[in-house]
A and B are shown apart, each in its own frame.
Chain A
Amino acid sequence: MKKKEKRKIPGVGKGLWILIVAAVVLEGTACVQYFTARTSIRKEAEKLAKTELLRAELEIEKHTIEMETAAKALAMMAEKYVDCPDSIFSATRSVVAILNENTSIAVAYVPGYFEGKRTKGKGERIGRFFEPCSSRFSEDSIYTRQIGSAEHDYTLMEWYQNGFIHDSCWWCEPYLDDSGSKTFVVSCSCPVHDRKGQVVAVVCVDLSLDYLQSMSEYLRVYPESFYSITSSTGEQIVPIGDTLPGRKYQSFDEEIDATGWHIEIIIPDDVIYADLRQVGLMIFIMMIIGLAVLVFITTRAARNLIELMNLSHDQERMDSELTIARNIQMAMLPTRFPPFPDYPNLSAFGVVIPAREVGGDLFDFHIRDNRLFFCIGDVSGKGVPASLVMAMTRSLFRSFSAYLDNPAQIVSQINDSLSGEGNKQDMFVTLFLGILDLSSGELHFCNAGHNAPIHVPSSPVPCTILDCLANLPLGVLAGFEYQEQSAQLEVGDALFLYTDGLTEAENGTHQLFGEQRMMSIVESQKSKEKSPQELIEAMQQAVAAFVNGAEQSDDLTMFAIRLINLSTLNSQLSTLKNNHFSLVMRNDIQQIPTLAEWIDSIEMPEELNMPINLALEEAVSNVMLYAYPGTNGQVLVECEKSQEPTTNSQQLIFTITDSGIPFDPTQQKEADITLSVEERQIGGLGIHLVRQIMDDIRYERKDNKNILTLVKSLNC
């Protein structure tokens, strides 16, 4: 059983660390947030407490000041009526009447001060203790009487004693008022002086503690908070409520300036921070959510990482599979050269220089019935699909060429197979397929959109591009009728076939190797001493020197054959063929110089060379300029030597053929050469020259082609 490969994933450990660090950071943030919130909540509580304390202080002071003012007023009245005890009663009464409080107010005289005197109203004798007092117990009843007695010895009272110690109003500690309200009170005392400045009495104004206890209206800042008021000596005026053990409290206090009392607000911690607990809970929940999201993201990232690693593993496998595909593809191509030891009259060599990526170039050949069946092709696109189509094309070539003898038939069959239902990828193949008769040198071929091969003649005639119909690439249209063509190879002639990887080889500055460079190399290797291998190697070196290390983007395939010895070659055929020359040019003015070279290679009287060159140049450049407006096209120039039937004189017949728009140069307006400088037209010289030089000029439009025939008689 195959053990499943366990692979370590470096990202997972890292992910865990990220998680821990993130958790710590989140926790830290949450803590900082919590304590910040806590501080601000405490500050808020303190602010609230202080505000309420201030309000309470103001409220208390309002009362105490009122009491003090009343005490002072009564003291002044008492000083005024210091000799008249009766008037003190009305004085206390009137002051109580002014005060809007349920309070008692009294003037306690030094014992024995009025002793023996009689009061006017009731006529009673004043005793040792004399303390006139008025009390209000309800809204509209003021009760006035003398309350001083041996039982009620006011001299023992703190407030009385304070009157002698302090020279102004003074608040005593709380005590039980046994004479008036029978409740706990605090009293404000104020001394009364006689005319000599001696303290003769003490005014006392009571403030009920019931009143202070009702201050909770202000001081209860939180539902469960409470307050206390303590005197300057620490006596509790309003006692602290019950505090629970184990519960924490915050206290805020304030001193009341007038009385020296302390007000304290006590708030349980849990009450203050009740909101904080909620906030804390929220933060906690948010943190948990955040962590959960982080865990989710981390695991997802880790999973993606694992997928990516698996993917790159797949990629590696794919790459190695591509290499295998490439190797299989290369193994399909012929590698054994010389391939046919039994056919010494044929020399052949081919090479595929593969690009980095799998491409779809192919070439193949075999001999059957003393005929060489060969092909070269290029599948559109790259990669495995292209290599599969290439393999398929090569197999189809092998199968069909095993029994079919007609190149057009073989190509049509391959085309039908490739353009059937199977071709879902819309891939097409350019292919040149040839059948060379090794005994006669007769070449039958069919081209399916491939670059035309180069005919390398052994004679001094320059190399020419084989005149090929383009037809359609394979796999484009099922049932397309491919046209067969033929040509003649002579002893020593070679044929050079290539794919566009050669002409489109790019250098570092994106210049293409181009047809001209290729042609010049072929030309330099045309000698029949040179083997196809030498030709291809020279081409390889030239391309390598040209691209100078730039990456090859497409497969480059070259295949060349040369006939070394054709035993049964017809000598008659040879001479006949020497009388026919042809040149294929593109509609590019820059190609004009090749025309001159071509004419040089045609045997003719020396003096005719220049005029014929001139006439042909005029005719060809006319085609180049006008037949293919805005598009690319070819111009075929052919020359034939023949006998004029009637006069039996030698003549040269040139035909210029193009497949451009209909264009008849014989209809062009001719220049009138008799005119003066001012009147002469710039144009029309070309056709004039052609007419001047040639003996006959004919134009015909045939099979969508312009055919211009120029005849020059040699015997004139």
Chain B
Amino acid sequence: MKVTIENEGNILVARLAGRLDTAAAAEITPDFQALAEQADKHIVLDCTDLAYISSSGLRLFLTLRKESAAKGGKLQVRNINADIRQIFMMTGFISLFEII
């Protein structure tokens, strides 16, 4: 599991690559904390290379989503695959996130 955070103009893009399972979620928690500190900005979670996500990963997404809403920032989720879309459907995340 790998997270790369980059600035694209005014947008903060976090590229997630690999399988975000329970073990990986613990591993990348610091990256999400770093993102939460800048939650007042426009953040895009790029999921092009994200193969899989479990509830631990979803929790990270949701926490960041709450932080963004509280700070008046913007959070978008980009390029989710069919499996993740299915998980988003099952968890209602599909309506919580702006998916582009």
Q: Which residues of A contact B (CB under 8 A)?
A: 589-593, 596, 610-611, 613-614, 617-618, 621, 624, 671, 673-674, 677-678, 680, 682-683, 685-686, 688-689, 692-693
Contacts and interface: CB of A to CB of B under 8 A. Distances in A.
Contacts of B96: 677, 680
B26 A589 contact: yes
B59 A692 contact: no
B55 A677 contact: no
B91 interface: yes
Interface of B: 19, 21-23, 26, 52, 54-56, 58-59, 62-63, 65-66, 69, 83, 86-87, 90-92, 96
Given A596-B21, A617-B54, A689 B69 contact: no
B65 A592 contact: no
A566 B54 CA distance: 43
Given A674-B92, A689-B90, A682 B63 contact: yes
28 contacts: A589-B22, A592-B22, A592-B23, A593-B23, A596-B21, A596-B52, A610-B52, A610-B83, A611-B86, A614-B52, A614-B87, A617-B21, A617-B54, A621-B56, A673-B91, A677-B66, A677-B69, A677-B96, A678-B66, A678-B69, A680-B62, A680-B66, A685-B55, A685-B58, A688-B55, A689-B55, A689-B91, A692-B90
A590 B26 CA distance: 10
A589 B91 contact: no
B86 A617 contact: no
Contacts of A589: 22-23, 26
Contacts of B90: 688-689, 692-693
Contacts of B62: 680, 682
Contacts of B66: 677-678, 680
A624 B83 CA distance: 25
A131 B11 CA distance: 152
Contact of A593 (B19, B58, B63, B86): B19
Contacts of A618: 54-55
A685 B59 contact: yes
Contacts, number: 64
B21 A593 contact: yes
A621 B22 contact: yes
Contacts of A686: 54-55
Contacts of B54: 614, 617-618, 621, 686, 689
A316 to B, nearest CB: 54
A274 to B, nearest CB: 96
Given A624-B22, A689-B91, 12 more contacts: A592-B23, A593-B19, A614-B54, A614-B87, A617-B21, A621-B22, A621-B56, A671-B91, A680-B62, A680-B66, A682-B59, A683-B59
A524 to B, nearest CB: 22
A637 to B, nearest CB: 14
Q: Which 6 A-B pairs have the closest CB atoms?
A: A673-B92, A685-B55, A686-B55, A621-B22, A592-B23, A692-B90
Contacts of B58: 685
B65 A677 contact: yes
A693 B83 CA distance: 13
Contacts of A590: 23
A614 B52 CA distance: 9
Nearest to B68: A677
B71 to A, nearest CB: 12
A686 B19 CA distance: 16
Contacts of B87: 614, 689
Contacts of A624: 22
Contacts of B59: 682-683, 685
A689 B86 CA distance: 11
Nearest to A609: B83
Contacts of B26: 589
A622 to B, nearest CB: 9
A685 B91 contact: yes
Given A592-B21, A596-B21, A613 B52 contact: yes
A406 B48 CA distance: 58
Contacts of B22: 589, 592, 617, 621, 624
A376 B15 CA distance: 50
B81 to A, nearest CB: 10
A592 B55 CA distance: 13
Contacts of B19: 593, 596
Nearest to A675: B92
A673 to B, nearest CB: 3
A685 B55 CA distance: 6
B80 to A, nearest CB: 13
A192 B69 CA distance: 145
Nearest to A691: B90
Nearest to B26: A589
A613 B26 CA distance: 18
A611 B26 CA distance: 21
Contacts of B56: 621
Nearest to A614: B54
A386 B69 CA distance: 66
A614 B51 CA distance: 12
Contacts of B52: 596, 610, 613-614
A464 to B, nearest CB: 19
B55 to A, nearest CB: 4
Nearest to A624: B22
Contacts of B55: 618, 685-686, 688-689
A621 B21 CA distance: 10
A685 B62 CA distance: 11
A689 B92 CA distance: 11
B73 to A, nearest CB: 12
Nearest to A671: B91
A592 B21 CA distance: 7
Contacts of A685: 55, 58-59, 91
A135 to B, nearest CB: 132
A682 B22 CA distance: 15
Contact of A688 (B63, B65, B69, B91): B91
A133 B22 CA distance: 145
Nearest to B54: A617
B99 to A, nearest CB: 14
Contacts of B69: 677-678
A593 B23 CA distance: 8
Contacts of A617: 21-22, 54
Contacts of A674: 92
Contacts of B65: 677
Scoring B26, B69, B92 by chain A CB atoms within 10 A of each residue's CB, the highest score goes to B92
B21 to A, nearest CB: 5
Nearest to B52: A610
Contacts of A673: 91-92
B92 to A, nearest CB: 3
A693 B55 CA distance: 13
Nearest to B83: A610
A686 B56 CA distance: 8
Contacts of A689: 54-55, 87, 90-91
A357 B69 CA distance: 65
A624 B91 CA distance: 23
